[in-house]
Amino acid sequence: MSLEAWLNEDKIKPHKTTPAEIAKLFQAIERDIKDASIGEVSEDVRYTAALRLATIVLYASGYRPSSGPGHHWITIRSLPYIMGRTAKSRSDYLNACRSKRNTVTYEQAFVTSEEDVIDLLEEVKAFREDVIIWLKQEYPSLIVPSTLGRDSEE
């Protein structure tokens, strides 16, 4: 598959994002990371932060997922097409987290361990830094001082 194929199949649509939209997503991610650092919070908060980061990448590239089933999968699986082959392992990892989240949400509880939850939070933090670097290189006009929250002095 490719972004062009997904566009032709109506799995993604063209999308023109704005610096304000990206800034709002980063604000939500900062809140998610802060909330996710509380031990009693579910894996969902950590997954949501990862999905928002993948959404930023897709939006910055000029696309959004079509609504309906599979939009999380498309958003996560778009990473290597946009960020390059090095993003494939991250996409694979986040897709496995998506699958676990679906199992917990729709089928059975307690399939994730505390170690899984901690690993996902660490991955989200690393992904956040990679997305910031990528945006600075590829789409610097989408970054405004409020975009990076606590790191706006960078």
- Identify the band that residue 152 occupies on the pLDDT scale cut at 50, 70 and 90: very low
pLDDT of 94 = 94
The model's pTM: 0.86
In tens, the pLDDT along 8-35 reads 999 999 999 999 999 999 999 998 888 8
Contacts of 154 (CB under 8 A, 6+ apart): 132, 148
Locate tokens 């991610």: which residue?
29
pLDDT of residue 149 exceeding 50: yes
**CATH T-level topology, domain 3-141:** Four Helix Bundle (Hemerythrin (Met), subunit A) (1.20.120)
Q: Residue 14, Cα to own-chain centre: how many angstroms? A: 18
In tens, the pLDDT along 53-95 reads 999 999 999 999 999 889 999 999 999 999 999 999 999 999 9
pLDDT of 16 = 97
Mean pLDDT of the chain: 85
Side-chain-side CA neighbours of residue 78 (13 Å)? 31
**Domain boundaries defined on the chain:** 3-141
pLDDT of residue 41 exceeding 50: yes
**β-strand partners of 14:** 63
pLDDT of residue 146 exceeding 70: no
Mean pLDDT, range 93-101, rounded to an integer: 86
pLDDT of residue 153 exceeding 60: no
pLDDT of residue 48 exceeding 50: yes
CA distance 73 to 121: 19
pLDDT of residue 154 exceeding 50: no
Q: Region of 70 please: left (phi>0), alpha (psi -120 to 50) or beta.
A: left
Q: In what helix (H) or strand (E) does residue 63 lie, and over which residues does it extend? A: strand 63-65
pLDDT of residue 36 exceeding 80: no
